[in-house]
Structure 1
C-alpha cells in the first residue's frame, strides 16, 4: 500500500508464505468429534508500517521492519457435538479454539492466518429456522501466535463477548438479527435482509449498530469513534444474468461526536476482535463517517469456468466544517481457478485499488484543512496478491 493521506507517503509492504494443516475428525457414535489445525507463517519481506497489512507478527514496539516475524500456532483445537436429525430438529456446538466467520457478530477473515477465539459456539436448527449462540473470552489475532484478552482502544480488558442470533432462510428470503454484548463495553446489533422475488434479482437491506456502555463512555473522547449510538444502513439491488452480474448499493452513517471532531462508525470497537460488518463499501473507516452517503457499484463477469473479473466503484460524501468532502475508489479484481483436475484447488487472486482521499490526522480519520479552510486532497494505491493451494492428504 502506498499511502499519503497522513502527509508524508507511507509504504506498507508485507509478504508472507503460509502452510496449514487442517484435520477434521469423524463423529464418534455420530455425536462427538474434534478438529485441529496448525498454521506456520514465514516472513518473506516487510517494510516499515508492515503491520497494517495483517500478514506478519509485529514482535516489538512501533512499526519498524525489524519487528516483522513469522510465527506458528494451532488455529483450531476444539471438540464438536452433533445432536438430533439433520432433516429436522438438530443442535451443533463447538468448544475450544475456533475461527468464527460471519457468525452472530464476529468474523475471522483469512489473510496469512485467521483470528481464532476461545470459547463456545452453538446452533439449534429446525427446517428454515436457526438460533445461534456464542461466548468467547480470549483471542489469537490472525497475525499473532499470542493468546490475549479482549481489549478496548485504551487497552482496558474486556472480560468476554456473548452473542446470539435468529435466522430464517428459504430460497426467496434470507433474514437474520444478531445481538452481541462485550461486557460493560458495547452492544452490537446486526440486521440483514435479502429477498429474491425473481430468479435473477435480489433486494437487500442491512443495518449495523453500536450502543456504547460504561467502559466505552469512560474512554477519552479522542479514542471514541462516536459519543453516542452509531449506525450504518445500506440498501442493495443485485441482478445476475448467466455469467454477468451487477450490484448497486447506497449507504448512510449516523455516528456523531459532540466535541467538534468527525465521528465515524467503529467497525472493530474492541481492538483485537474482528466484528461482522458487510456493506459493499466497507473499507477501514471509509464510507462510514458521520452523515456520509456512500454509493457503490460492482460489475462482475465470469469469462470461463476458471476465470472471474470484477470492477467495483465506491463514492462517498459528507459535510464537515463548511466542506463537502468527497472520497472514492476504483477496485480491479481478478481470480483464476484452473479447471484442470490436477490444479482444481489452486487459486490466484489479485486486487488493485486506486483511492481518492483527504489528508488526515488523529487516528487517520480527522481531516486536515489548508489556510483557506478547504480540505486537502490525497491519493492512495494498494495491491493484494494471493496464491492459494489446498490439497487433501487423506
Structure 2
C-alpha cells in the first residue's frame, strides 16, 4: 500500500474540519434575494470521508475463500438553493482509493473490479459523479408536489432501493412525490444504474444476462402518530412483478410492532429462462413480524420470518432484488447477503444494544434459520458483536466508528442454495465476518 494512501485516512477529516465552504442562506424564504440569487446563496456543500474495511472467511464452495476489501472514500455533495422556491439541482462527486484486497473482493461491494474475474489484481479505486439531477417542487400548506430527473439515489421508493459503501447506488430516470396531510404517493421509473462500487453506467439484467428495459414502481403511504401503513407495487419489465405490504403501530412510546409481506411473481422473460438460472419457479413470498423496543439505555429488536419460494430442481429462494444491477426494498431483519430467504425457511432474528455512554453503544445481533431438503433438516445461523461510537461536534460535524465481528455456520452448496449431502446430512460450512467503518461528516448549514 502506498504510504500516501494511508495518510489520506488521517488528512481528509482534518481538511474537512479546517475548510468552511458553506454558503450561508440569508433568511427564510430568500431574505429579499432575487430568485436567481437564492440558487447560490442558499446552496449547501457537504463533505464527508469514509474508511471502509469488510471481510468474510467462508467455505460454502468446499474450499476456504477469503473475501477482503479495504478502501478510503471522499464525497462532496452539492445541494443548490431553489430558484423562486421551485427549481434546483443536486450533484455528488465520489472518490475512492484502494487500500487493500484479496481474491473474491468484489462480493464486499467496496472496490471497483476492473476485470471480469474477482482477482485481487483487478481491485481498484474509482471516481464518479454518482448523483446529478434536476428537481422541481411546489409546496402549499401541508400539500406538496416534487419531481426529480437525472441520476439520483432511491431509498425504499416502492420496490426499488439503494445501498451504500464508499458511494451510494444511483439510478437514471425520474422520481415524483405527491403529499397531502398524512398521505403520500411516490413513483419512479429508471432505466440504468451505477453500483455503489463502480463508476460504470449499466443496464438492468435478467439472471441470464438479458437486458431489462426499465424498473417502475409506485408507493402509497399513510403516516400517523400511532403508526404507518404502506403499499408498494413495481415491475422489472416483463421479468418480475412485486407487491409489498408494511404496517407498524406504536402501542407505547417505547414499543413498535411491525409486519411485512413481500409477494413476487414471475413474468414472461423470467419464465423463459433456463431452469438453472431461476431463483424460484412461478411465485415467491416472504413474511415478517417484528417487535422493537427502545429506552434511554437499551434497544432491542426481535423478528420472525418465513419464506415460500418453490423450485422443482432444488432449493428455491426469494430474490431480494428486481434484477441484476439494482437493489430491492427489503426492511426485514432476515437478510444477510443472500441468506435466510430459502423455500420453507423459518428464521428468528434478534438484536440487543446497550448505551455505555451517550456516544458509545455496544451489543449483539444474530439470526438462526431452519428449512428441510429431501426431508433432511438444515440449520444455518450467525452471531455478531457490534459497537458504534458517534461524536457530534460544533457546526454539524459528526465523527463515527462502527465495528462488527462474529462467526456463522451454513452448508456447502451444489448450486445456488441447494445443500450437498453426505450420509444423509448436509456438509457443514463455517464462516467468520468482520466490518469496520470510520466516517467523518462535515455538513453545510
TM-score of the two chains, using structure 1 as the length reference: 0.96
Alignment of 1:150-165 (within 5 A): 150-165=204-219
* Residue of structure 1 equivalent to 2:336: 283
* Residue of structure 2 equivalent to 1:324: 377
Higher alpha-carbon Rg: 2
Higher helix proportion:
2
In structure 1, the gaps of 5 or more residues are none
Does the aligned pair in 2 maintain the 1:337–1:344 contact within 8 Å? no
Quick check: 1:97 aligned with 2:151? yes
Does the aligned pair in 2 maintain the 1:267–1:284 contact within 8 Å? no
Deviation (angstroms), 1:322? 2.1
Quick check: 1:8 aligned with 2:63? yes
Highest relative contact order (Cα 8 Å, sep 6+), 1 or 2? 2
Per the alignment, do residues 204 and 392 of structure 1 end up closer, same or farther by CA in structure 2, a change over 3 Å counting? closer
Aligned partners of 1:46 and 1:122: how far apart in 2?
40
- Size of the aligned set, in residue pairs, is 390
Per the alignment, do residues 280 and 190 of structure 1 end up closer, same or farther by CA in structure 2, a change over 3 Å counting? same
Aligned partners of 1:304 and 1:171: how far apart in 2?
29
In structure 2, the gaps of 5 or more residues are 1-55
* Residue of structure 2 equivalent to 1:237: 291
Aligned partners of 1:163 and 1:341: how far apart in 2?
40
Deviation (angstroms), 1:269? 4.0
Does the aligned pair in 2 maintain the 1:15–1:55 contact within 8 Å? yes
Q: Classify the secondary structure of the residue corresponding to 2:421.
A: coil
Alignment of 1:268-307 (within 5 A): 268-307=321-360
Deviations 1:35-84 (A, max 9, x none): 01100111111100000000111111211111111111101110111112
Alignment of 1:131-150 (within 5 A): 131-150=185-204
Aligned partners of 1:342 and 1:135: how far apart in 2?
37
* Residue of structure 2 equivalent to 1:220: 274
* Residue of structure 2 equivalent to 1:380: 431
Higher alpha-carbon deviation: 138-147 or 235-244: 235-244
Quick check: 1:366 aligned with 2:421? no
Aligned partners of 1:176 and 1:82: how far apart in 2?
23
* Residue of structure 2 equivalent to 1:34: 89
Aligned partners of 1:104 and 1:384: how far apart in 2?
29
Per the alignment, do residues 79 and 343 of structure 1 end up closer, same or farther by CA in structure 2, a change over 3 Å counting? closer
* Residue of structure 1 equivalent to 2:400: 347
* Residue of structure 2 equivalent to 1:25: 80
Q: Classify the secondary structure of the residue corresponding to 2:312.
A: coil
Aligned partners of 2:366 and 2:443: how far apart in 1?
38
